[in-house]
Structure 1
Amino acid sequence: MTLSAFDLLLYAGGLFALFLTPGPVWVALIARSLAGGFRAAWPLALGVVIGDVVWAVLAVLGVSWILSIYGGFLELLRWIAAIIFLAMGYLIIKSADKSISSDSRLTRPGAVAGFLAGLAVIFGNPKAVLFYMGVLPGFFDLSHLTTLDIVLIAGLSALVPLVGNLILAVFIDRARSMLSSPQALKRTNITAGLLLILVGLAIPFV
């Protein structure tokens, strides 16, 4: 194992900041919870977990292969990750009072439909693609990762969003009022934006 506790904590912080940013997963969870309660929401959360793990592993293995050919690529990725986090944080704060819209295709009843909706929303979520393929490599030295390191990265990629999504599903009534209140939505987006900026500032120094 080559990863330190601080490396994993910083990555978990990045995942949490990403979770706090309202987007397609939030919309789908809220819509399914309103339609069928927690029973309708948890299969979607499991589908999202599968997508998170797949993206994380693909990012680690794919970029590791590139690093085996271009050794100096890691430092460039670190700075790219920092810039992306700073840009995401700024853009979220800039549009903090904008609402998000719903896609009714993600609210079909049934556990299988919920699970498939979770897969669809995570594989088609540009925020997730940007994070895992463009930002994740900036957190770690991918050229020296062990199998245990990859398992820990994949585990965090699954655990942090899963816990957040399940809590969101359980407290859906509160989440609904939060997203329908312009003031509370603005506060949530500003908090998420600041967290993304803080992570972006920390990445170059780890």
Structure 2
Amino acid sequence: MTWGAYSSYLVFVVLVVLAPGPDTMVTLKNALAGGARGGLLAVCGITMGNLTQGTAVALGLGTLIVHSQPVFTTLRWAGVVYLCYLGVQALRSAWRGDYGTASAAGSRSSGFRRWREGFFSNVTNPKVLALYLSVLPQFLDPVSTGTLDALLLAYTVSVLGGLWLLLLMFFVHRVRTWLRRTRVRRSLDAVTGTALIGFGTALAAES
């Protein structure tokens, strides 16, 4: 692979990474509820999910999953249910508005729970798999490129995506004083919850 081709790929990946999606909302949800630690663990889970899907595509397993209708359908509906579940959690927090008690409970929440929310929200999202399958072949020459090139392209998405989410998490941490206001927290939780359910509904509506 030439540096010119990789540079073009980088430009495309940056545009994809900056577009808000379920990963963004899950990071916000956990950063708001669990602070910097909660946000960091969620980002680590999302990045691991991204690496898992990217590796599957680079090694040829992604094509098998997509072409196996029962497996792909199961994955899609698992993603729908999980995104909606996370969205309902955020909406419940917005409805209750009891952030004093919630903050104490959030500080005691298992770190694995934060990581798990990030990992499963990503790994059960077949749109990530479909993105890899549709984009990577455009930048790979079957004659001159191999598995290592495919892994490089896949891991580039994971790394840049993780870095962007880390920046988002640190921004949330920097403005945490403002975000502690009950009205602001309720509004953000309502927006985040609605967006997550919206992403889940859009995923369910796809044929």
Shorter chain as denominator, the TM-score bin is 0.5 to 0.7
Mapping of residues 34-183 of structure 1, within 5 Å: 34-62=32-60, 103-104=87-88, 109-146=109-146, 148-172=148-172
- Pair 1:22 & 2:20 matched: yes
Contact 2:44/2:118 (<8 A) preserved: yes
Contact 2:17/2:164 (<8 A) preserved: yes
Contact 1:19/1:161 (<8 A) preserved: yes
How far is 1:105 from its partner?
Answer: 5.1
Aligned AA (1:12): L
Give the fraction of aligned pairs with identical amino acids, expressed as a percent. 23
| Segment drifting more, 33-42 vs 56-65 | 56-65
Contact 2:47/2:158 (<8 A) preserved: yes
Any idea what the Cα deviations from partners look like across 1:31-70, whole Å, max 9, x if unmatched? 111112111011111111122222222222228999xxxx
**RMSD of aligned alpha carbons:** 3.4
* Aligned counterparts of 2:110 and 2:145: Cα–Cα separation in 1: 39
Q: How many residues are matched?
A: 143
Report the TM-score when normalising by structure 2: 0.57
* Aligned counterparts of 2:29 and 2:153: Cα–Cα separation in 1: 30
* Aligned counterparts of 1:119 and 1:160: Cα–Cα separation in 2: 16
Moved over 3 A (4+): 63-66, 104-109
In the superposition, relative to structure 1, how do residues 37 and 148 fare at CA in structure 2: closer, same or farther (>3 Å)? same
Report the TM-score when normalising by structure 1: 0.57
State which structure, 1 or 2, has the greater radius of gyration over its C-alpha atoms.
2
* Aligned counterparts of 2:61 and 2:137: Cα–Cα separation in 1: 7
In the superposition, relative to structure 1, how do residues 29 and 63 fare at CA in structure 2: closer, same or farther (>3 Å)? closer
Aligned AA (1:103): G
How far is 1:131 from its partner?
Answer: 0.9
1:168 aligned counterpart, secondary structure: helix
In the superposition, relative to structure 1, how do residues 135 and 35 fare at CA in structure 2: closer, same or farther (>3 Å)? same
Unmatched tracts of structure 1, length 5 or more:
67-101, 182-206
Aligned AA (1:153): L
Aligned AA (2:163): V
